[in-house]
Structure 1
Amino acid sequence: MYERKINVYSEIGDLKTVLIHRPGEEIENLIPEYLERFLFDDIPFLKVARIEHDNFAKILKENGVETLYLENLAAEAVKDAQIKELFLDEVIEECGINKTQIIKSLKDYLCSMPEKEMIDKVMAGIRKKEIKIKEHYDEYPFIMDPMPNLYFTRDPFACIGNGISLNSMKTKTRRRETIFGKYIFKYHPEFKNSNIKLWYNRDDVYNIEGGDELILSKEVIAIGNSERTDKEAIINMAKNIFENEKNFKTILIFNIPKTRAFMHLDTVFTMIDYDKFTVHPGIEGTLKVTAITYDYKNKELIIIEEEGSLEKILSKHLNKDITLIRCGGGDKVISGREQWNDGSNTLAISPGTVITYERNYVTNEILDKNNIKVIEMTSGELSRGRGGPRCMSMPFYREDLE
């Protein structure tokens, strides 16, 4: 059996393989009174969201990128009856279900389906009435919550170097998402024997999410200390990476505002070329950054606090002059609107070539004027979930930069 490798040593190297998730029935299970619970501000129209997502996949394929689907890999990972049993036990336990009869009903219901249908159903959520529990109109209808954030495949785990960070998600509604990654890398025939290193585990106490993890070069990683990623998690992961991966020399912790508008580091800035980044004007003042390196002789972390502008910090650690391209050109109204629609959340598929949402037309025009090739995609419904092309993609393999 072919064994797949993980290889991600930059944000901009030619993208060869990426993981995505086509929005499913979990979107149809969003209802207004529970939007906050599921981290949504609005309800996307699934039919159109799928058309937009299919166009995203088409753009990737037309540019030579192999697209893997989360739902397909998960289904292939649990084909064995014993593994399927373990998977369902873990999913049900994490839903907080402890009544024996309900557990039996759920397992019987899910085991009656082919693997792909079963995975789709676990992602979509299960209503009480589906397992013959009476639903009252004024009560919560789900026995198993839907997972509408799954099409943002960037967050549940992150590929870093030749390993993965299987993340410990901040919110209860997203914690089960990482189970799929666990079973893919542990049991899928194309991954289980690939010696993929584990930098962080989903059961670790401190939280970290993939939108905060950016690989700036073969030597430098940037991680946001945001509302969803704890500084302690970054420090623990840094030690694990330094002790097991000799390429990375520095991990930068960016302290960003702990608000939903600055949800993850990749909503604040993304790398688009060797020396260019998109940036939210809101973080262009003085930043506090923690630079972590490793003393191999004494086997201990060296932690130094730094302050400075984003441009100065990036230029120093990447050893080159950096150009920052402001979302919306820095205009307060335009940048605020386009930032809301993920104008800074670009996906580089090669140096200087990025996929963006077409609705962020001011930022896209500025990128074009800075010699960045912009491939626009529609996002009328996808962007309702508050995530852009980078959020919707998890690179598995990028060509190394020269």
Structure 2
Amino acid sequence: MINKMNVNVASEFGELEGVIIHTPGLEVEEMTPETAKRALYSDILNLSVAREEYTQLKGVLSKAGLCLEVTDLLAEVLKNGQIRTDLLNEICNQENAENIYQELAELSPDELARQLIQGVPINRNNLSRYLSNERFSLWPLHNFLFTRDASMSFRDEVVIGKMANKVRDREATIMEAIFNHHPLIEAKTLSAQKPGSLPVGKNLSIEGGDFQVAREDVLVIGTGVRTTAAGIDFILETIKEKKEPIRHILVQELPDMPESFIHLDMVFTFLDRDACMVYEPLILGTNRFHTIHIQVENGEVTKISEEKNLPKALRKLGMDLKPIYCGGSKDLWTQEREQWHSGANFFAIAPGQIIGYERNVYTIEELNKQGFEVIKAQAVIDGKAEIPKNGKCVITIAGSELARGGGGARCMTMPFCRKKVDW
């Protein structure tokens, strides 16, 4: 029997104890080239290949800590009659699907969990539905394999995201139900979907791909097409309410294009106490995108100032991180190509022990030059290689298909419990 776990995340790289994932299912294939744009994809994926690759990620994560699946957690939550009723009411009201509430309410918890994620096909049992151009009454959650975005762990709390696109709202609603009601997880939630009386302005959105925990007192947040200034103000206001001695938010502005820059973790991720992965042209290059330091003391903003870049801003706060270049340091074109396929997007299972795509060969070579042992995920899963106890390593997973979905290892993982880092 697994003991109840408290949410606790005070860094991006503390030793992993608990993580939530979602193995891609039929929802990934329920799109066409015509509907892919609405689903926020630039391409359509082959499910069998994507699942095969995802199995490598899950296999490594399962060796590192407790690895939980969204569908299993949701099914468990749906066994409670009142929670089930409340969740269905919220989802059906959000998506103008009140007419299918009763048929959903009659499903078993397992089947209901599956349909809430994979979609509810339209029942063409009247003229309006027969003539409808829609395929679903509730659309599939095509993006749920990227569990990072809908919720964000910070210390003992979970921020429930306000998604930038309505097609993803249900993901946040489901994650909120899991963190509020699953018997295995103890968490306090803060909902950006329902900011209440906090003065955060209009157009609030915040997603986990932009939200990084540098240290217990330092957050790094990207602002661009998925996370707005109002979304960061929501985080700022919640920090102010706590009236703690001193806290810092570093804000990195991101360009609207190309689409591979949708989140901060596509251009910057923490690897260790002393190392980070960067897409050099954006993070370190001379450009017009702001890096801003917000300092909060005892419930008041005491400083807002511009910094040269993220690594320099972190250095001022006592975090001296060596930037390692996505795509290597020699060729701009190679950097661009590998960034496009999530070459800057790594997930740490412990300090200096990270997971990323093997397809980004120049990035992996650069990591190796900086002392990271390269280990294939399948070798770890088969027991032919071991994750070193203390040494640095990069565990490579296949990504020919998954990378086409627009995210990497960090995007596909939602850690809710990590050990404290010995600074």
TM-score by length of 2: 0.87
1:250-289 → structure 2 map (5 Å cutoff): 250-259=248-257, 260-283=259-282, 284-286=284-286, 287-289=289-291
Bigger mean CA deviation after superposition, 200-209 or 341-350: 200-209
Aligned amino acid, residue 367 of structure 1: L
Aligned to 1:148, the other structure's residue is in SS state coil
Query: Do the aligned partners of residues 245 and 53 (structure 1) sit closer, same or farther apart at CA in structure 2, a change above 3 Å counting?
Result: farther
Query: Do the aligned partners of residues 32 and 246 (structure 1) sit closer, same or farther apart at CA in structure 2, a change above 3 Å counting?
Result: same
Pairwise CA RMSD: 2.1
Identity %: 34
Contact 1:169/1:228 (CA < 8 Å) preserved in 2? yes
Q: CA deviation at 1:247?
A: 8.0
Cα distance in 1 for partners of 2:51, 2:350 equals 25
Deviations 1:29-77 (A, max 9, x none): 1111111101011111112211211221111122x31101111111111
Aligned amino acid, residue 154 of structure 2: I
Out of 392, 395, 399, the position equivalent to 1:379 is 399
Cα distance in 1 for partners of 2:137, 2:228 equals 30
Contact 1:358/1:379 (CA < 8 Å) preserved in 2? yes
Contact 2:221/2:249 (CA < 8 Å) preserved in 1? yes
Contact 2:246/2:296 (CA < 8 Å) preserved in 1? no
Cα distance in 1 for partners of 2:293, 2:225 equals 19
Contact 2:355/2:395 (CA < 8 Å) preserved in 1? yes
Query: Do the aligned partners of residues 329 and 209 (structure 1) sit closer, same or farther apart at CA in structure 2, a change above 3 Å counting?
Result: same
Q: Which residue of 1 aligns with 2:107?
A: 113
Aligned amino acid, residue 321 of structure 2: I
Query: Do the aligned partners of residues 132 and 389 (structure 1) sit closer, same or farther apart at CA in structure 2, a change above 3 Å counting?
Result: farther
Cα distance in 1 for partners of 2:359, 2:22 equals 22
1:358 aligns with 2:351: no
1:368 aligns with 2:363: no
Aligned amino acid, residue 396 of structure 2: E
Q: Which residue of 2 aligns with 1:229?
A: 227
Aligned amino acid, residue 391 of structure 1: C
Cα distance in 1 for partners of 2:351, 2:294 equals 27
Aligned amino acid, residue 278 of structure 2: V
Aligned to 1:34, the other structure's residue is in SS state coil
Aligned to 2:25, the other structure's residue is in SS state coil
Deviations 1:258-280 (A, max 9, x none): 23221011111001011111111
Aligned amino acid, residue 362 of structure 2: V
Cα distance in 1 for partners of 2:127, 2:274 equals 58
Aligned to 2:85, the other structure's residue is in SS state helix
Out of 168, 171, 174, the position equivalent to 1:174 is 168
Deviations 1:271-294 (A, max 9, x none): 101111111123122452222222
Deviations 1:56-112 (A, max 9, x none): 1111122x31101111111111212222111111111111235xxxx1xx2343234
Aligned to 2:143, the other structure's residue is in SS state helix
1:1-400 → structure 2 map (5 Å cutoff): 2-62=3-63, 64-97=64-97, 103=99, 106-129=100-123, 139-191=133-185, 194=186, 196-204=187-195, 206-244=204-242, 246=244, 249-259=247-257, 260-283=259-282, 284-286=284-286, 287-296=289-298, 299-317=299-317, 319-330=318-329, 331-372=331-372, 373-400=393-420
Query: Do the aligned partners of residues 125 and 245 (structure 1) sit closer, same or farther apart at CA in structure 2, a change above 3 Å counting?
Result: farther
Bigger mean CA deviation after superposition, 284-293 or 239-248: 239-248
Contact 1:249/1:293 (CA < 8 Å) preserved in 2? yes
Bigger mean CA deviation after superposition, 145-154 or 197-206: 197-206
Aligned amino acid, residue 218 of structure 1: E
Aligned amino acid, residue 41 of structure 2: F
TM-score by length of 1: 0.91
Cα distance in 2 for partners of 1:349, 1:38 equals 30
Aligned to 1:120, the other structure's residue is in SS state helix
Give the number of aligned pairs. 389
Q: CA deviation at 1:337?
A: 1.3
Contact 1:290/1:303 (CA < 8 Å) preserved in 2? no
Contact 1:18/1:394 (CA < 8 Å) preserved in 2? yes
Aligned amino acid, residue 297 of structure 2: D
Contact 1:21/1:152 (CA < 8 Å) preserved in 2? yes
Aligned to 1:37, the other structure's residue is in SS state coil
Cα distance in 2 for partners of 1:228, 1:163 equals 21
Aligned amino acid, residue 74 of structure 1: L
Bigger mean CA deviation after superposition, 334-343 or 232-241: 232-241
Cα distance in 2 for partners of 1:187, 1:132 equals 37
Aligned to 1:216, the other structure's residue is in SS state strand
Cα distance in 1 for partners of 2:243, 2:349 equals 24
Aligned to 1:354, the other structure's residue is in SS state strand
Cα distance in 2 for partners of 1:142, 1:248 equals 49
Aligned amino acid, residue 126 of structure 1: V
